[in-house]
Amino acid sequence: MLNLTNVQRGALGAATAMFLVGTLTGVSPALHDYPVYGGQAVRYLFGALLLLVVAQVSGKGLIRLTRREVLYLAALALTGLTAFNVLIVESTRSADPATVGTVVAAVPIVLALLGPVMERRKPAPRVLLASVVVVVGVAVTSGFGGGSALGLLLAFGALACEAGFSLLALPVLGRLGAIRVSAYSAALAVPQLVVVGLVVDGPDLVRVPTAAEALALGYLAVVVTVFAFLCWYSSLPRLGADKAGLFSGFLPVGAVVSTVVLGTGQPRTADLVGACLVLVGLAIGLRPARSRREPVPV
């Protein structure tokens, strides 16, 4: 069994979480004909139920929440899950998906600036530099298309919501832990998405999925919700939000790998160059700080 340090465990968890979220690109085509918001509600419903089972089995079942914790978790679900999904869908109606993806991929910079503030410390210039390198790497991979002012505005809203997914979890992770935060946030997102779905799709909110759609929804619930959420929220306290944010660069890597595995795409030169830049950014951001040497007596 590998004897990993706390930071190494955090790095492995964050990389795994972002890689798995990136695989959404390969799985999403199977759900193109399924109601978007109803599908997300189903995903989070089953994800929340599985997380509650995990919580009970691991001895970390439901506990009484304080009013402050309820507010943070509700805000996390509303921004990081519900509003993020709505803004991503609506922004791609007015802007190229590559543009939206590149804007949202700037989240490492946001976390490098605001993460330390939430944790009551100063932003680290080295981590900020690393976040810029990672974002450039993602931009090289994703490209940058066109879009209207409304599309860009919605994309930046999605960026803010993506940052909220991490920043709003920081104040409650200490007492609740990764399992409870994941379970509560997923559960709270379900009624929110149902309301959105009823407004958008009305009675067509949900339907019986085909076999392929059921497999895709199951993958989203088990892998992208349960496993990825647990990996991410376990990593945040170990790395800090600023360094954890650097691993968002693994999103396009997961997207490329999933499309290759499923036979829906092939890696391009830009993908490889972007991945290399992401690795360079991670090397800069995760490099241990040099300790000041004591002066040598003469």
Q: Is residue 149 part of a domain?
A: yes
- Tell me what pLDDT residue 294 has: 44
- pLDDT 10s digits, 32-65: 899 999 999 999 999 999 999 999 999 888 889 9
Instruction: For residue 106, tell me if it sits in a domain.
Output: yes
Asked if residue 295 is part of any domain, the answer here is: no
Q: How far is CA 115 from CA 92, 112, 167, 189, 243, in A?
A: 28, 6, 6, 23, 9
| Rounded Cα distance, 27 and 183, in Å | 23
Report the pLDDT value the prediction gives residue 260, as an integer from 0 to 100. Answer: 77
pLDDT recorded at residue 264: 62
- Is residue 293 situated within a structural domain? no
Is 68 a member of any domain?
yes
Q: Give dist(CA 253, CA 160) in Å, integer.
A: 22
Q: For the whole model, what pTM was predicted? A: 0.88
Condensed to tens digits (0 to 9), the pLDDT of residues 200-211 reads 999 999 999 999
Residue 79 lies in a domain: yes
Residues β-bridged to residue 147: 95
**Number of folded domains in the chain?**
1
Tokens for 259? Answer: 């499309």
Residues 259 and 25 sit within 8 Å (Cβ to Cβ): yes
Return averaged pLDDT per consecutive 10 residues of the chain, 298 residues in all. Answer: 80 92 81 92 96 92 92 96 90 77 86 90 92 88 73 90 95 95 96 95 93 94 95 95 90 76 73 84 81 46
Q: Residue 294, exposed/middle/buried by CB under 10 A (0-12, 13-18, 19+)?
A: exposed
Among candidate residues 143, 141, 100, the one with its CA nearest the CA of residue 276: 141
* Cβ neighbours of residue 195 closer than 8 Å, sequence gap 6 or more: none
**Alpha-carbon distances of 202 from 42, 197, 199, 205, rounded to whole Å:** 16, 7, 6, 6
Please indicate, yes or no, if residue 296 is contained in any of the structural domains. no
The helix/strand/coil state of 69 is helix
Domain ranges, residue 234: 6-286
Instruction: Identify the three-state secondary structure at position 147.
Output: strand
CA distance 116 to 166: 12
**What's the rounded Cα separation, in Å, for the pair 84 and 63?**
27
In this structure, is residue 67 part of a structural domain?
yes
For helices 6-22 and 228-239, the axis angle rounded to 10 degrees is 140
